[in-house]
């Protein structure tokens, strides 16, 4: 029995905060038991006299980006489960549309570069190799690069060995299994021809620098980074996504797990919605913005209409909150709003603060400062201004929405859920609130409640023009959101 059956709650909270700050890993309420077990195991591993010593050990090794303990802790707190052809729909999309499109685009240079980021024990990378091997007649004389990377050396060692148990084949077509593997007692060994198509190496997606010629991560035509972002907070996700985007060729594709990047600013990636999955394509001649936004930028909530070629200008359909404010917002508040949208949060705050000198209860200024503070990660001061904004306008939904995001960032799902309920009460057309509340209910295994919320969001979406966009999902049109929600609903019935 462990010497420390129950760890001090405050100590655990401090360790959690330190880990999140240093690694970007996010911990939810239902992760508490696993988190406690991992921390206890590390305290026992080092035979420490007090649990506080482990906190100090971690703190002292923060400056060492290659610290063995930080690396081991990251591995223990994430899951490396994988299997061949995981997610049949996405692999169907790859074989039927994505890979043929890339082959057509790259036929002049006869080169294809693919990266399985967070490849675990290699099943995903080898699945890609098997798909390309099936297309070898179209790829005769091509230079094919398939790179698999992970943070855990033990996983990479297994991937390099190419030896797997029967459980890794649970959805793999039997004909491919026989063609690409040979059975050896209780294991299956991948054929040398397939194994030699893939290179495996270490990569920490958050800390390591890429694109980089040195580590071979550059000019990728296709990146798969699936079921990785579920462990990270918004700031880390934004950082990683920007690096992945910069590592893609123009018109290259990024494929993630379903819904992992749903509320993330995807510039310069363009959302493509297929029947099988949402994927992201790098727009030609694009440059990424600074990866500084931690939370969805929902200031102010609106629906933007793309320009209709039949009309001389785009229309803007705005929510009641924005209409109410628009008539009296002075020029300097408009400037503050523009600075906010450009992610220049410091200057936006200064502009808005000048408004408060004259109008201490100006809702718009209070909300802007709170939102900017939240995006800077200054959550305590953000909450102060957001609560002041609510005092100024009790019917305003947006401060509650931002507060729900802050609560979720801190791993407080119940608090986030309560704020989202307030948003829906105040604004029954608030689509993001329905979708994000549904996501929380699904995490908590309230599947029927999640389904009903998504159905309500779908009905509201269908009232909007197909080419409109809704913050914070500006990378998707209403039609694409409709297709996405329908797909999630259909999958929940299977």
Q: Which two tokens stand for residue 37?
A: 């077990």
Pick the CATH number of 302-493 from 3.30.70.270, 1.10.340.30, 3.40.50.10860, 1.25.40.10: 1.25.40.10
How far from 47 is each of 40, 114, 319, CA to CA, in Å?
10, 43, 59
List the 163-164 sheet strands across, edge first: 163-164, 187-190, 181-184
Tell me the C-alpha distance between 94 and 446, whole Å: 32
Half-sphere exposure of 355 (CA within 13 A, CB side): 25
Conformation bin of residue 424: beta by default, left when phi > 0, alpha when psi is -120 to 50: alpha
- Give the contacts of 333 (CB within 8 A, at least 6 positions apart): 351, 352, 355, 362, 364, 365, 368
> What DSSP string runs through 427-445?
-TT-HHHHHHHHHHHHHTT
Domain ranges of the chain: 9-76, 88-282, 302-493
Q: Which two tokens stand for residue 458?
A: 């779908």
For 51, phi and psi rounded to 5 degrees? -60, -30
Pick the CATH number of 88-282 from 3.40.430.10, 3.40.50.150, 3.40.50.1000, 2.60.40.10: 3.40.50.150
Task: For residue 378, give the 3-state DSSP assignment.
Answer: coil
Asked if 88-282 and 302-493 have one fold, the answer is no
Q: Which residues pair with 470 in a beta bridge?
A: 303
pLDDT by residue for the chain (494 residues), tens digit each? 355 567 888 888 889 888 888 776 767 665 677 788 889 988 988 888 888 999 999 888 876 645 678 877 877 776 666 789 988 889 999 999 999 999 999 999 999 999 999 999 999 999 999 999 999 888 999 999 999 999 888 889 989 999 998 878 878 888 888 899 998 877 899 999 999 999 999 999 998 999 988 888 999 999 999 988 877 878 888 899 999 999 999 999 999 987 777 667 777 898 888 888 889 999 875 444 333 333 343 333 333 333 333 333 333 333 334 444 444 446 778 888 888 888 888 889 988 888 887 788 889 999 999 999 988 888 888 999 999 999 999 899 999 999 998 998 887 888 999 999 999 989 989 999 999 999 898 888 888 999 999 999 999 999 988 888 888 777 788 898 898 899 888 876 65
């Amino acid at each position: 029995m462990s010497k420390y059956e129950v760890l001090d709650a405050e100590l655990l909270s401090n360790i959690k905060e330190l880990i999140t700050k240093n690694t970007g890993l996010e911990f939810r309420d239902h992760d508490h038991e696993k988190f406690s077990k991992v921390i206890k195991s590390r305290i026992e591993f080092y035979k420490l006299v007090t649990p506080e010593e482990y906190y100090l050990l971690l703190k002292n090794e923060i400056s060492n980006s290659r610290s063995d303990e930080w690396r081991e802790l990251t591995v223990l707190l994430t899951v490396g489960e994988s299997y061949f052809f995981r997610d049949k729909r996405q692999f169907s999309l790859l074989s039927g549309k994505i890979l043929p499109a890339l082959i057509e685009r790259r036929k002049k240079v006869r080169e294809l570069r693919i990266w399985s980021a967070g490849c675990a024990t290699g099943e995903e990378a080898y699945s890609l190799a098997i798909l390309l091997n099936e297309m070898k007649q179209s790829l005769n004389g091509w230079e094919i690069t398939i790179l698999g990377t992970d943070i855990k050396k033990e996983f990479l060692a297994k991937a390099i060995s190419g030896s797997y148990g029967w459980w890794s084949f649970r959805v793999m077509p039997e004909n491919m299994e026989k063609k690409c593997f040979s059975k050896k007692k209780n294991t299956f060994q991948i054929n040398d021809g397939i194994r030699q198509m893939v290179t495996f190496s270490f990569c920490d997606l958050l800390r390591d620098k890429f694109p980089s010629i040195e580590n071979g991560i550059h000019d990728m035509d296709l990146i798969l980074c699936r079921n990785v972002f579920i462990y990270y907070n918004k700031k880390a996700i934004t950082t990683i996504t920007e690096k992945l985007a910069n590592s893609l060729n123009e018109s290259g594709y990024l494929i993630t797990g379903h819904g992992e990047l749903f509320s993330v600013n995807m510039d310069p990636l363009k959302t493509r919605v297929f029947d099988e999955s949402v994927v992201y394509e790098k727009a030609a001649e694009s440059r990424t913005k600074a990866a500084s936004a931690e939370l969805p930028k929902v200031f102010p909530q609106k629906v933007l209409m793309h320009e209709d070629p039949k009309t001389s200008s785009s229309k803007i359909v705005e929510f009641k909150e924005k209409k109410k404010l628009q008539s009296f917002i002075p020029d300097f508040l408009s400037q503050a709003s523009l600075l906010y949208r450009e992610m220049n949060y410091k200057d936006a705050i200064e502009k808005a603060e000048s408004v408060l000198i004259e109008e201490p209860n100006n809702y718009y200024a209070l909300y802007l400062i709170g939102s900017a503070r939240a995006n800077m990660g200054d959550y305590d001061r953000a909450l102060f201004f957001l609560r002041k904004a609510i005092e100024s306008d009790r019917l305003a939904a947006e401060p509650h929405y931002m507060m729900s995001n802050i609560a979720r960032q801190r791993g407080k799902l119940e608090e986030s859920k309560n704020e989202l309920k307030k948003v829906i009460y105040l604004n029954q057309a608030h689509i993001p609130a329905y979708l994000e509340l549904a996501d929380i209910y699904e995490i908590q295994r309230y599947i029927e409640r999640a389904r009903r919320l998504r159905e309500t969001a779908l009905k509201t979406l269908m009232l909007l023009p197909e080419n409109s966009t809704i913050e914070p999902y500006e990378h998707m049109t209403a039609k694409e959101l409709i297709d996405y929600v329908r797909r999630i609903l259909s999958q929940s019935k299977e």
